[in-house]
Amino acid sequence: MKVQGDKHADGPPTELAMKKKLKARGYSVSKYVYPPGTYFPPHTHDCDKINGVLSGRFKLTLDGESVILKPADCIEVPAGVLHSAEVVGPEPVVGLNATK
């Protein structure tokens, strides 16, 4: 599982900058806000997607491996791959959902 994102190379994780980067890769992008305690049980998607975090912490478990995404992090979730996700900590997660 590869987490992408580098605040030093990419600059601050602004919504506009992250959207621009994802759209340049051919993705449709939408913003989401998940409150603390949000949990998505194991599921799949019919399309490739990328989750990008603007603020908060988002735990993603993919193929039995877990990672906690922080601001500026993005992770690819291929179509058909079983995964789960949850908000970690007391603050909401604000992020971008990119699909292709």
The angle formed by the CA atoms of residues 17, 1 and 29, to the nearest 5 degrees, is 30
Q: Which of 21-25, 44-48, 56-60 has the weakest average pLDDT?
A: 21-25
Q: Which domains does the chain have, with CATH numbers?
A: 3-99 (2.60.120.10)
- pLDDT tens figures, 57-71: 999 999 889 999 999
**pLDDT bucket at 8, cuts 50 / 70 / 90:** very low
Strand 57-62 with 83-88, pairing: antiparallel
